[in-house]
């Protein structure tokens, strides 16, 4: 079945499930397996791929995986804050385009805040968009105050997404950042939705998983995607995990399931600083 979609503020539909690539390309002997995993994901209908210039040679893995099938895909990449000056952002984007083997990036993110003024990075993003090098831009690891500052800039409202750490054990954004984003119809991209595999071993999640004939990892992913406006981007290299991750997008959790998970992973009762890994 086609993967469910959500809408960016501009109105474009994007899948609520994507293929993560964090640490791909860092071990030379894994290149073929990583490329095959991404191609399997594409074959199964997962058309969104998330990568970044920071992830060593992950962009090269993505570039190999998408050869001959670029059209119809939604490629996300990121610029390091150390490169996020007016000229540095443009140069970094050109390098990413070369590694990816494409003429455009669908969503280009500032990986996290650094010393470069936001206004300067936004100007560079707008210039890249005008040149056709990127189609949309956004940010990553921005807390609510950061987003408010960004939205106050002349072109700040062109931000299309914020990618942050979000999973059952990291629910802080539910107190303020997630509601703020939803009020503006801006999807949040959830990285590390299985907490780097830790949630796949949780017994409480396992109890819910047993009711669905699923794995704990699948339930953790289904939970992240339970409501509109959140995109999960797990990484998987083993074919079995790729298939299981994509199948998680079809799992519908019941109110009893959600209540049980809330008992073991309580939602935030107050503002928490944005977590990052």
Residues annotated as catalytic (active site), given as ranges: 55
- Given phi > 0 = left and psi -120 to 50 = alpha, else beta, which region is 256? alpha
Four-CA torsion 44, 222, 234, 193, nearest 10 degrees: 170
Crossing angle (nearest 10°) for helices 239-247 and 216-224: 40
The owner of tokens 């994509």 is 246
Report d(CA 205, CA 26) in Å as an integer: 31
**Nearest Cα to Cα of residue 93 among 85, 81, 105, 82:** 105
The DSSP string of 102-150 is -S-EEEEEE-S--SS-HHHHHHHHHHHHHTTSEEEEEEES--HHHHHHH
Q: Is 241 annotated as a binding residue?
A: no
Binding-site positions: 111
Residue ranges for the known binding site for substrate are 111
């Amino acid at each position: 079945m086609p993967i469910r979609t959500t809408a960016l503020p501009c109105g474009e539909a994007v899948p609520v499930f994507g293929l993560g690539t964090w640490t791909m390309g860092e071990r030379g002997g894994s290149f073929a397996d990583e490329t095959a995993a991404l191609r399997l994901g594409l074959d199964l209908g997962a058309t969104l791929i998330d990568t970044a210039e920071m992830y060593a040679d992950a962009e090269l893995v993505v570039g190999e995986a998408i050869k001959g099938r670029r059209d119809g895909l939604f490629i996300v990449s990121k610029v390091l804050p150390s490169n996020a000056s007016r000229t540095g952002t443009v140069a970094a984007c050109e390098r990413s385009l070369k590694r990816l083997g494409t003429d455009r990036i669908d969503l280009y993110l500032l990986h996290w805040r650094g010393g470069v003024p936001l206004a300067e990075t936004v100007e560079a993003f707008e210039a890249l968009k005008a040149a056709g090098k990127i189609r949309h831009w956004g940010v990553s690891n921005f807390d609510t105050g950061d987003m408010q500052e960004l939205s106050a800039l002349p072109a700040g409202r062109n931000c299309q997404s914020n990618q942050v750490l979000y999973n059952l054990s990291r629910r802080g954004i539910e107190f303020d950042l997630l509601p703020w984003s939803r009020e503006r119809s801006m999807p949040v991209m959830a990285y590390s939705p299985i907490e780097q595999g830790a949630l796949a071993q949780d017994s409480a999640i396992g109890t819910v998983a047993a009711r669905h004939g699923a794995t704990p990892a699948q339930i953790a992913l289904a939970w992240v995607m339970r409501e509109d406006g959140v995109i999960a981007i797990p990484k998987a290299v083993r074919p079995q995990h790729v298939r299981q991750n994509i199948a998680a997008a079809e799992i519908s959790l019941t109110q009893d399931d959600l209540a049980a998970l809330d008992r073991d992973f309580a939602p935030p009762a107050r503002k928490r600083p944005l977590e990052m890994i």
